[in-house]
Amino acid sequence: MNTALVNTGLVNTALVREPGPLLAEGTVTHAERRPVDLDLARRQHEAYVAALRAAGWNVRAVPPADDCPDAVFVEDTVVVGGDLAVLTRPGAERRRAEVAGTERAVRDLGLRVATVEAPGTLDGGDVLQAGDTVYVGRTARTNEEGVCRLAHLLGGRRVVPVEVTGCLHLKTAVTALPDGTLIGVPEWVDTAALPGLRVAPEPSGARVVVLGPDHVLLAASAPRTAEVLAADGLRVTVVDISEYEALDGCVTCLSVLVP
């Protein structure tokens, strides 16, 4: 358990950032750009936050960054391991201004803070923590220097680099279920680095947020995955995030969970 959060009474904290007015101008790399309905996106974000609260997470708002269209994807700005918050250096230069607000939020939680420095780049969406292993995607957003810096900061934890192709981030392609099993799209990653990878029934089913020991969050665009995981005995919560998927986003991007 995270002692820093226990001391502040904030166990199971979820950091989120509300969508800003420029959301529709967000970066699109792999999706086909289409109009984004900002009002609908705001309602979807509210429903996402409500799902976190219903699962027992204390939701804390990261200060807004309204000049940054992609700022709602707060996961990319920090990696939290134990009582350490590693502030990232996003691979897209226009996203780097988002990090300042996240730094204030994690300092308010009492976490220790470290940074990724140039020439390293690291997006939080490229970091998948599964037990004692930390998988880090090598992508257009995360370079070798960023991987090495994170490995140094995380000390004794096992860090495994993973080559990623065909999608934006590692966690677009692979996430972990509550028991540590990896689920994903094998065509998008180097499966040699990901033992026992379970194939997701549809691409968006590769993106799972673990809300509890037997509870997961999925996008409404992954109904077959939801059905399969429910049959496995997991409690499955489904949210519609269509407006964020239009911007290469997924359920993991919209929060940072600090257990």
What CATH code is carried by the domain that includes residue 185? 3.75.10.10
What's the domain range around 148? Answer: 3-258
Q: Give the residues of the chain that fall short of pLDDT 70.
A: 1-10
Residue-level pLDDT at 3: 47
Residue-level pLDDT at 169: 97
- Catalytic (active site) residue 45: no
Domain count along the chain: 1
Residue-level pLDDT at 155: 87
Q: Rounded to 5 degrees, what are φ and ψ at 82?
A: 65, -125
CB-based contacts of 94, cutoff 8 Å, min separation 6: 27, 68, 70
- Catalytic (active site) residue 253: yes
141 beta partners: none
114 beta partners: 86
Write the pLDDT tens digit of every residue in 144-165: 999 999 999 998 899 999 999 9
Please choose, from the candidates 180, 191, 53, the residue with its C-alpha nearest in 3D space to the C-alpha of residue 128: 180
Residue-level pLDDT at 182: 98
Catalytic residue among 45, 68, 169, 250: 169
Residue linked to tokens 């166990």: 11
Residue-level pLDDT at 10: 57
Asked if 233 contacts 178 with a C-beta cutoff of 8 angstroms, the reply is: no
DSSP codes joined into one string, 10-26? --SEEEE----TTGGG-
